[in-house]
Amino acid sequence: MLGTLAVAAGGAAGSLLRYWATLLAARWWGGDFPWSTIAINVAGSFVIGWFATATMPGTATPANPAFASHEVRLLVMTGLCGGFTTFSAFSLQTLDLIRAGDWTGAALNVLASVALCLVAVGAGHLIALRGG
């Protein structure tokens, strides 16, 4: 039951953060291309990469003393990151670009999202390993 509540609380917080980040990004970049979704997915990928490594059971070191309970990991990784990142929005926006005939934009959205999120999750992982 505690795990379910942790996921629900994290999901609510992540969804609110995504909404606010989308509003902010729309002011910065406009709405013609889904840059806000890419930025949110990259940020979420970094956070989950860092947090998963920094709080992994059995990996605490003097440089990286963090450890989190199963429920805290559920709250952050499943709830917060799951509510914050926007893969379903990414998929729909890519389909919208295709339907509009913007195959270049669709390809750019897919390539930028996948490449940048892989770099972000790796960066988060490496920073956590170094105790950051």
Give residue 65's pLDDT: 61
How many CA within 13 A on the CB side of residue 93? 19
Q: What's the chain's Rg over C-alpha atoms?
A: 16
Segments of 5-75 assigned E as strands: none
Tell which residue, 111, 102, 85, has the closest CA to residue 22. 85
Asked if 43 and 121 count as a contact pair (C-beta separation under 8 A), the reply is no
pLDDT less than 70: residues of the chain: 59-66
| pTM over cut 0.95 | no
The pLDDT, as a whole number, for residue 54 is 84
